[in-house]
Amino acid sequence: MTPGRDYDESDVRIRPNRRGSRPRTKDRPAHLDAVSAFVVGVDRGRYRVLVGEGRDERPVTAMRARELTRTSIVVGDRVDLVGDTSGAEGSLARIVRIQDRATVLRRTADDTDPVERVIVANADQLVIVTALADPEPRPRMVDRCLVAAYDAGMDPLLLLTKADLAAPQDFLATYAPLGVPHLVTTTTDFGQGLDDLRAALAGRVSVLVGHSGVGKSTLVNALVPEADRATGQVNDVTGRGRHTSTSAVALELPDPGGWVIDTPGVRSFGLAHVDPERIIVHFPDLEAGTDGCPRGCSHDEAECALDDFVARGGAGPSGLSRLESLRRLLRARNPQSSD
């Protein structure tokens, strides 16, 4: 940073471009001395970001520059900061750029929230936490999470909790044709389960989603003890549910590192924005059979060529169960299947 250099909003003013569309990040004026930061929390218009590496790593509070108001900044974003990036008490830096996102986990507008939202950026794994009992597993919710993961370009991981209460075999049979990786845990006796989970999370940015009561907070506390996520039923003091905050928070995993992003407010996803083609690319064995489909085929209609393709053995012996699974996921985009 050049000492004494004061930034004003003109530093981030966007030059008009010929087509009148929003310019790409790289076309904006460069803040040559901006520093890169990682967004770990969002709270009422203030962003908690991490700057620097190793021993230099420090939390900094930042606000967005005015020109960025139409773009949401979310947990997982990598951003460029100017201003006071010292992280000193009371200091406030400014976010002038959002770096290109590798992945975007989003949710369609729905009745309760009219805006399509990006929930998390740059995560590479979606950990779908489901209890085997208490509460009962909700396969439709799991399907919706799988679609959200495929749409976002993230790898799904099924994490089944409360294995002390029920066996996982029946539930897993539903997902076997999809080849989704899974882990089984019991928090009363984590045993190997926690080590396997740590290995699956190591070095990655993973988002945890799951319904209330599946044991997500218990898991986060085991993984990141200092996170101190509230567990249990109801807050004794307020009498309300624990997670009144709906914003996601990124928690750094101890050695060998990685991040878990807890999304307390996100129980499921509106998926109306999802294009079927973004799902079928995850079924390369079936995608090969879509050449004969009518244009714009939903792959879930009478004219779809996949039925013939599978009947002729084009997708091998598991073709039929794969096609059924694909269609189940395609239907999960339908709001009526919401759980």
Establish whether 297 is an annotated binding residue: yes
Minimum CB separation of residue 301 from Zn ion in Å reads 7
CB 244 within 8 A of CB 85: no
Does residue 206 touch ligand GTP according to CB under 6 A?
Answer: no
Chain position carrying tokens 């928070």: 249
What minimum distance in Å lies between the beta carbon of 274 and ligand GTP?
Answer: 25
CA separation for the pair 46, 93 (Å, rounded): 10
Is residue 327 near Zn ion by the rule CB under 5 A? Answer: no
- Per-residue contact string for residues 256-275; x = within reach of ligand GTP by CB under 6 A: --------x-----------
Using DSSP bridges, classify how beta strands 58-64 and 93-98 pair: parallel, antiparallel or unpaired. Answer: parallel
Give the amino acid at 288. A
Binding part of the chain for ligand GTP, among 43-51, 158-166, 279-287, 289-297 by CB under 6 A, reads: 158-166
| Binding residues for Zn ion restricted to 279-298, rule: CB under 5 A | 293, 297
Size of the site for ligand GTP (CB under 6 A): 20
Query: Distance (Å, rounded) from C-alpha 161 to C-alpha 158?
Result: 10
Nearer to Zn ion, 197 or 310 (CB): 310
Tell me the three-class secondary structure of 232-250, residue by residue. CCECCCCCCECCCCCCCEE
Question: Binding to ligand GTP by residue 298, rule CB under 6 A?
Answer: no
> Of 198, 243, 273, 327, which one interacts with ligand GTP (CB under 6 A)?
243
Which amino acid, residue 251? L
Interatomic CA distance for residues 123 and 131, integer angstroms: 23
Decide: is 139 part of the binding site for ligand GTP (CB under 6 A).
no
Q: Does residue 231 bind ligand GTP (CB under 6 A)? A: yes
Helices (H), the chain: 139-152, 169-175, 192-201, 216-223, 276-280, 284-287, 306-311, 319-331
- Among Zn ion, ligand GTP, none, what does residue 130 contact (CB within 5–8 Å per kind)? none
Angstrom distance (rounded) from CA 326 to CA 324: 5
Piece of the chain touching Zn ion by CB under 5 A; list 86-94, 145-153, 172-180, 304-312: 304-312
- The upper half-sphere exposure of residue 289, i.e. CA atoms within 13 Å in the direction of its Cβ, equals 22
Q: Does 327 bind ligand GTP (CB under 6 A)?
A: no
Residue 222 or 320 with smaller CB distance to ligand GTP? 222
Contact 166, 197 (CB under 8 A): no
Nearer to ligand GTP, 139 or 213 (CB): 213
With b for 16 or more beta-carbon neighbours within 10 A and e for fewer, the 275-300 pattern comes to ebeebbebbebbbebbeebeeebebb
d(CA 289, CA 304): 10
Span near Zn ion by CB under 5 A; candidates 43-51, 60-68, 300-308, 326-334 = 300-308
> Least distance (Å) from Zn ion to the CB of residue 307?
9
- List interacting residues with ligand GTP (CB under 6 A): 161-162, 164-165, 186-188, 210, 212-218, 231-232, 242-243, 264
Annotated binding site for Zn(2+): 293, 297, 299, 304
Annotated binding site: 161-164, 210-218, 293, 297, 299, 304
Annotated binding site for GTP: 161-164, 210-218
